[in-house]
Amino acid sequence: MPWPDVALDLWRFTAAQPTTVQVPPDGCRDLIVVVPRAGAPVCFVSALADTTETPQFDAGDRAVGVRLRLGAQFDEAELLALLRQGERIDDSDLLAAIGMAVRVDSRVQETLDCLQEVLQLKVAQARLGVSERSLERLLSGHTRRGPLWWRNLARARCCARALASAEPLVHVAARHGYADQAHMTRDLQRWFGATPTRLRAMPVFLATLAAPAYA
């Protein structure tokens, strides 16, 4: 099955024991199939997360998902209808459904790419050649999140990844455009449910921020 351009990544997970997984917000939506140890597969599309989510799995549960590109546009009911609910679903089924039902709006993708690179919305507006109102209308209309949300998510994810180094926290905060270390602490707590100091003690969690996603 050809890899659709609208797909970023295909991932898998199997729970060896009862497990709670920490999933940080990544700005992407995923087409997911959860296969319980006993029972039929459950298919759904994840929502854009505003904070770290903690799904729970029983021992033997499996999940597979395809992460969709920024700006992915689709009718959720149509996408799920393409999958054979209640039957075995393999990778080719997921990729085929995505290839048929999902498209990427190039304007949205270009805008989100820009917001990853600049800290100030005025700079992003100038680079894109759009007004504040047009920027808000485009992103809110297509993603249900405004420019500030996307800018803040990109900053928080980049900042959290930087915590893997030994750089002083005050320097990390300044380099990522926070007013001070306290501002950075509040923001990372809001997105990831942990302070910078705590995040530094969570290398596995920080590693998830390197997966293909937004920022």
List the chain domain ranges. Answer: 7-104, 106-208
Q: Which residue has the tokens 């455009």?
A: 177
Q: What is the pTM of this model?
A: 0.92
**Cα first-last separation, the chain:** 28
Give CA–CA dist 87/93, Å, rounded: 11
Token pair in block for residue 183:
């501002």
- Give the pLDDT confidence score for residue 87 in this predicted structure: 63
Per residue in 8-23, pLDDT tens?
999 999 999 999 999 9
User: Which segments of the chain does DSSP mark as H helices, in order?
Assistant: 76-81, 91-101, 106-117, 121-128, 132-143, 147-162, 169-175, 181-192, 196-200, 203-208
Nearest to 109 by CA among 163, 81, 70: 70
Nearest to 30 by CA among 98, 118, 93: 98
Could you tell me which CATH number the domain at 106-208 has? 1.10.10.60
% residues pLDDT > 70 (the chain):
98
Residue type, 65: G
What are the residue ranges in the chain where pLDDT is below 50? Answer: none
In the three-class reduction of DSSP (H, G, I as helix; E, B as strand; rest coil), residue 157 is classed as helix
